[in-house]
Protein backbone atom coordinates (compact mmCIF):
# COMPACT_ATOMS: atom_id res chain seq x y z
CA UNK A 1 0.00 0.00 0.00
CA UNK A 2 1.03 3.65 -0.34
CA UNK A 3 2.59 5.39 2.63
CA UNK A 4 -0.20 6.42 5.02
CA UNK A 5 -0.89 10.08 5.63
CA UNK A 6 -1.74 9.72 9.32
CA UNK A 7 0.35 7.96 11.97
CA UNK A 8 -1.19 6.51 15.14
CA UNK A 9 1.34 5.29 17.68
CA UNK A 10 1.37 3.04 20.67
CA UNK A 11 3.66 4.41 23.40
CA UNK A 12 5.53 1.90 25.55
CA UNK A 13 7.73 -0.36 23.46
CA UNK A 14 7.05 1.69 20.34
CA UNK A 15 8.11 5.28 21.00
CA UNK A 16 9.72 4.90 24.42
CA UNK A 17 11.61 2.27 26.40
CA UNK A 18 9.86 2.38 29.76
CA UNK A 19 10.72 -1.12 31.05
CA UNK A 20 13.42 0.03 33.52
CA UNK A 21 11.08 2.45 35.30
CA UNK A 22 8.15 0.03 35.23
CA UNK A 23 10.42 -2.60 36.77
CA UNK A 24 11.65 -0.27 39.52
CA UNK A 25 8.09 0.76 40.35
CA UNK A 26 6.70 -2.78 40.39
CA UNK A 27 9.57 -3.93 42.58
CA UNK A 28 8.97 -1.08 45.03
CA UNK A 29 5.37 -2.25 45.26
CA UNK A 30 6.46 -5.87 45.65
CA UNK A 31 8.91 -4.84 48.36
CA UNK A 32 6.09 -3.27 50.35
CA UNK A 33 4.36 -6.66 50.17
CA UNK A 34 7.54 -8.50 51.21
CA UNK A 35 7.97 -10.05 47.77
CA UNK A 36 11.33 -10.55 46.02
CA UNK A 37 12.14 -8.41 42.98
CA UNK A 38 11.34 -9.44 39.44
CA UNK A 39 13.54 -8.87 36.40
CA UNK A 40 13.13 -6.45 33.51
CA UNK A 41 12.49 -9.23 31.01
CA UNK A 42 9.65 -10.53 33.15
CA UNK A 43 8.12 -7.05 33.26
CA UNK A 44 8.57 -6.66 29.52
CA UNK A 45 6.47 -9.78 29.00
CA UNK A 46 3.69 -8.37 31.22
CA UNK A 47 3.20 -5.02 29.48
CA UNK A 48 0.59 -4.18 26.85
CA UNK A 49 -2.86 -4.81 28.28
CA UNK A 50 -3.32 -1.93 30.70
CA UNK A 51 -2.15 -1.08 34.20
CA UNK A 52 -4.62 -3.36 35.99
CA UNK A 53 -3.38 -6.51 34.28
CA UNK A 54 0.23 -5.37 34.61
CA UNK A 55 -0.08 -5.13 38.39
CA UNK A 56 -2.03 -8.39 38.59
CA UNK A 57 0.62 -10.21 36.57
CA UNK A 58 3.43 -8.73 38.65
CA UNK A 59 1.83 -9.70 41.97
CA UNK A 60 -0.11 -12.83 41.11
CA UNK A 61 -3.75 -13.60 41.77
CA UNK A 62 -3.26 -14.29 45.48
CA UNK A 63 -1.69 -10.94 46.32
CA UNK A 64 -3.55 -8.74 43.87
CA UNK A 65 -6.16 -6.28 45.07
CA UNK A 66 -7.68 -3.38 43.09
CA UNK A 67 -6.34 -0.85 45.63
CA UNK A 68 -2.81 -1.92 44.69
CA UNK A 69 -3.33 -0.57 41.17
CA UNK A 70 -3.73 2.93 42.60
CA UNK A 71 -0.72 2.34 44.83
CA UNK A 72 1.36 1.32 41.83
CA UNK A 73 0.23 4.34 39.82
CA UNK A 74 1.36 6.62 42.65
CA UNK A 75 4.77 4.91 42.83
CA UNK A 76 5.20 4.85 39.07
CA UNK A 77 4.16 8.48 38.82
CA UNK A 78 7.20 9.33 40.93
CA UNK A 79 9.59 7.25 38.82
CA UNK A 80 8.29 7.20 35.25
CA UNK A 81 10.95 9.65 34.07
CA UNK A 82 13.95 8.24 35.94
CA UNK A 83 15.28 6.22 33.01
CA UNK A 84 12.61 6.23 30.30
CA UNK A 85 13.73 7.69 26.99
CA UNK A 86 12.60 7.75 23.39
CA UNK A 87 14.11 5.02 21.28
CA UNK A 88 16.87 6.05 18.85
CA UNK A 89 15.45 7.82 15.81
CA UNK A 90 12.05 8.60 17.35
CA UNK A 91 12.74 12.31 17.82
CA UNK A 92 13.75 12.53 14.17
CA UNK A 93 10.63 10.66 13.12
CA UNK A 94 8.30 12.90 15.12
CA UNK A 95 10.01 16.08 13.99
CA UNK A 96 9.64 15.00 10.37
CA UNK A 97 5.84 14.96 10.53
CA UNK A 98 3.13 17.45 11.30
CA UNK A 99 1.56 17.09 14.74
CA UNK A 100 -1.82 17.51 13.06
CA UNK A 101 -1.34 14.11 11.45
CA UNK A 102 -0.15 12.10 14.43
CA UNK A 103 -1.87 10.55 17.46
CA UNK A 104 -1.05 8.29 20.39
CA UNK A 105 -3.31 5.43 21.40
CA UNK A 106 -1.90 3.65 24.45
CA UNK A 107 -3.27 1.39 27.16
CA UNK A 108 -1.25 3.39 29.71
CA UNK A 109 -3.48 5.56 31.95
CA UNK A 110 -4.05 8.96 30.37
CA UNK A 111 -2.70 11.00 33.29
CA UNK A 112 0.57 9.08 33.37
CA UNK A 113 0.82 9.25 29.58
CA UNK A 114 0.58 13.04 29.60
CA UNK A 115 3.15 13.32 32.39
CA UNK A 116 5.59 11.09 30.52
CA UNK A 117 5.18 12.87 27.19
CA UNK A 118 5.56 16.26 28.82
CA UNK A 119 8.69 15.13 30.63
CA UNK A 120 10.19 13.92 27.37
CA UNK A 121 9.21 17.20 25.63
CA UNK A 122 7.19 15.45 22.92
CA UNK A 123 3.66 16.09 24.13
CA UNK A 124 3.11 18.79 21.50
CA UNK A 125 3.97 16.41 18.66
CA UNK A 126 0.50 14.82 18.69
CA UNK A 127 -2.93 16.19 17.90
CA UNK A 128 -4.72 13.62 20.05
CA UNK A 129 -3.48 11.50 22.97
CA UNK A 130 -5.70 8.62 24.08
CA UNK A 131 -5.01 6.54 27.20
CA UNK A 132 -6.25 3.19 28.34
CA UNK A 133 -8.81 4.85 30.60
CA UNK A 134 -9.94 7.53 28.12
CA UNK A 135 -12.94 5.49 26.95
CA UNK A 136 -15.00 2.52 28.03
CA UNK A 137 -12.85 0.26 25.83
CA UNK A 138 -9.11 0.03 25.29
CA UNK A 139 -6.96 -1.85 22.77
CA UNK A 140 -7.45 -4.49 21.32
CA UNK A 141 -10.93 -2.97 20.92
CA UNK A 142 -11.04 -0.64 17.89
CA UNK A 143 -12.84 2.20 19.71
CA UNK A 144 -9.70 4.16 20.73
CA UNK A 145 -8.31 4.01 17.19
CA UNK A 146 -11.69 4.97 15.70
CA UNK A 147 -11.81 8.00 18.01
CA UNK A 148 -8.24 8.92 17.12
CA UNK A 149 -9.15 8.82 13.43
CA UNK A 150 -12.12 11.09 14.06
CA UNK A 151 -9.97 13.58 15.98
CA UNK A 152 -7.39 13.58 13.17
CA UNK A 153 -10.06 14.01 10.52
CA UNK A 154 -8.74 10.88 8.83
CA UNK A 155 -10.30 7.99 6.97
CA UNK A 156 -9.12 4.54 8.11
CA UNK A 157 -7.47 3.81 4.78
CA UNK A 158 -5.32 6.94 5.20
CA UNK A 159 -3.80 5.81 8.51
CA UNK A 160 -1.52 3.24 10.10
CA UNK A 161 -1.54 1.92 13.65
CA UNK A 162 2.07 1.45 14.78
CA UNK A 163 2.82 -0.72 17.80
CA UNK A 164 4.80 -3.51 19.39
CA UNK A 165 1.95 -5.70 20.61
CA UNK A 166 -0.85 -7.69 19.05
CA UNK A 167 -3.33 -5.46 20.90
CA UNK A 168 -2.17 -2.60 18.65
CA UNK A 169 -2.52 -4.71 15.53
CA UNK A 170 -5.98 -5.98 16.42
CA UNK A 171 -7.19 -2.49 17.34
CA UNK A 172 -5.90 -0.97 14.11
CA UNK A 173 -7.08 -3.71 11.79
CA UNK A 174 -10.55 -3.77 13.34
CA UNK A 175 -10.73 0.01 12.89
CA UNK A 176 -9.76 -0.38 9.23
CA UNK A 177 -6.25 1.09 9.32
CA UNK A 178 -3.01 -0.38 8.05
CA UNK A 179 -0.78 -1.82 10.76
CA UNK A 180 2.93 -1.76 11.52
CA UNK A 181 4.53 -4.16 13.97
CA UNK A 182 7.57 -2.98 15.95
CA UNK A 183 9.45 -6.17 16.72
CA UNK A 184 12.04 -4.30 18.81
CA UNK A 185 9.46 -3.61 21.52
CA UNK A 186 8.01 -5.62 24.37
CA UNK A 187 5.13 -7.52 22.85
CA UNK A 188 4.44 -10.06 20.14
CA UNK A 189 2.49 -9.98 16.90
CA UNK A 190 0.37 -13.05 17.66
CA UNK A 191 1.41 -14.12 14.13
CA UNK A 192 -0.84 -11.49 12.60
CA UNK A 193 -0.16 -10.27 9.08
CA UNK A 194 0.84 -6.60 8.98
CA UNK A 195 1.34 -4.02 6.23
CA UNK A 196 4.65 -2.79 7.66
CA UNK A 197 7.35 -4.22 9.94
CA UNK A 198 10.05 -2.41 11.92
CA UNK A 199 12.93 -4.44 13.36
CA UNK A 200 14.59 -1.31 14.77
CA UNK A 201 13.15 2.05 15.87
CA UNK A 202 15.19 3.72 13.14
CA UNK A 203 13.27 1.68 10.56
CA UNK A 204 10.18 3.82 11.19
CA UNK A 205 11.63 6.95 9.57
CA UNK A 206 12.43 4.83 6.51
CA UNK A 207 8.96 3.32 6.41
CA UNK A 208 7.18 6.63 7.06
CA UNK A 209 9.36 9.48 5.78
CA UNK A 210 8.18 13.02 6.37
CA UNK A 211 7.94 13.64 2.66
CA UNK A 212 4.99 11.26 2.54
CA UNK A 213 2.95 13.79 4.50
CA UNK A 214 3.78 16.84 2.43
Q: Which residues are catalytic?
A: 10
Which of 84, 82, 67, 61 lies closest to 29 in space, CA to CA? Answer: 67
Render 39-96 in DSSP notation, one character per residue: -HHHHHHH-SS-HHHHHHHHH-TTT--HHHHHHHHHHHHHHTTSS-EEPTTHHHHHHT
Q: Sort 36 into a burial class: Cβ within 10 Å, 0-12 / 13-18 / 19+.
A: exposed
Amino acid sequence: MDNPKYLIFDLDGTLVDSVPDLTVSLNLLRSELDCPPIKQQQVSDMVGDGVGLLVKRALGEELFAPALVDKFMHIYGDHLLDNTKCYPGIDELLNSHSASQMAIVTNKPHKLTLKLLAGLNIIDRFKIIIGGDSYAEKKPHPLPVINALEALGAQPQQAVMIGDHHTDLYSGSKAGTATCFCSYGMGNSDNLTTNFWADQPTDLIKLFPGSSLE
